[in-house]
Amino acid sequence: MNQHLARYGCLEQRVVFITGGGSGIGASLTRAFHHQGARVVFVDIDDEASESLVAELSVKACEPPLYHHCDIRDVESLQKVIADTGQNVGLIHTLVNNAASDDRHRWQDVDVAYWDERMSLNLRPMFFAAQAAAEQMIQAGGGSIINFGSVSVQMALGGLPAYVTAKAAVHGLTRSLARDMGEHNIRVNTLVPGAVMTQRQLEKWIGPDDEAAIQTRQCLKLRLEPEHIAPAVLFLASDESLAISGQELAVDAGWG
């Protein structure tokens, strides 16, 4: 964890709900909000990574995060965890819709079942998590919803059309919810990460040659890590962004 992160006093003791918070970018977000003194609840399906993260953060002075095993494709279970969080931890102030799967696939091989499954993972949970969490935010007088988009949309990447389509739809979802929820003082924004070198990406998709090619296209010649994403998410969750909604914020080292 970057110990030099800006400190947002407004986030202390606020309830933050993160999907996919056990590994990769999600784990960096869990760490970052925990470092702010927030009360973090996250869902994931990787029990080993998630429980290890909770154990790591349990040695800190503040309250450790709470982990729930939940497949976000199961909307009923996801909304139940969100409801239980409101009842047992506190009203959710920040929802981070981070979880996704960017498995590669050829357009020729996609059938209806695969297409629907990709949408059920990469798009549908964002709406239904927002629907459930917003009810609590209204009670609390406002809040922040942060949906994760993808640079793959702007880059027109091939080899994963269902994923890119879902991520493109996230931008529309953000804009629409920002309009509908603004009257309740709920901000909705899209965070667009670039080519972040998570363990999954390095194991499955990005080799040394690929990483070099990515940095060639980036304005900033740095290795984009999960920790580079967290500061922008903290800002969008904090009161410093009270006048920002319906927007896209890219953290991609200028990849274009």
**According to the model, what pLDDT value does residue 2 have?**
52
114 among known catalytic residues: no
DSSP string, the chain: --TTPPP-GGGTT-EEEEETTTSHHHHHHHHHHHHTT-EEEEEES-HHHHHHHHHHHHTSSSPPPEEEE--TT-HHHHHHHHHHHHHHT--EEEEEE---------GGG--HHHHHHHHHHHTHHHHHHHHHHHHHHHHHT-EEEEEE--HHHHHT--S-HHHHHHHHHHHHHHHHHHHHHGGGTEEEEEEEE-S---HHHHHHT--HHHHHHHHHHBSS-S---GGGTHHHHHHHHSGGGTT--S-EEEESTTB-
- The answer to whether residue 3 is domain-embedded is no
Residue pair 86/78 in contact (Cβ under 8 Å)? The answer is: no
pTM: 0.93
| Catalytic residue chosen out of the listed positions 8, 67, 114, 163 | 163
- The answer to whether residue 36 is domain-embedded is yes
Domain of residue 175 covers 9-251
- The answer to whether residue 247 is domain-embedded is yes
**According to the model, what pLDDT value does residue 135 have?**
98
- The answer to whether residue 4 is domain-embedded is no
- The answer to whether residue 155 is domain-embedded is yes
- The answer to whether residue 96 is domain-embedded is yes
CATH of the domain at 119: 3.40.50.720
How many domains does the chain divide into?
1
- The answer to whether residue 1 is domain-embedded is no
**According to the model, what pLDDT value does residue 215 have?**
82
Q: pLDDT of the chain along its 256 residues, tens only? A: 555 678 999 999 999 999 999 999 999 999 999 999 999 999 999 999 999 999 999 986 678 999 999 999 999 999 999 999 999 999 999 999 999 988 888 999 999 999 999 999 999 999 999 999 999 999 999 999 999 998 877 877 787 899 899 999 999 999 999 999 999 999 999 999 988 876 676 665 677 777 788 888 889 998 888 899 999 999 999 999 999 999 999 999 898 6
- The answer to whether residue 2 is domain-embedded is no
Angle subtended by helix axes 124-140 and 75-88, to nearest 10? 20
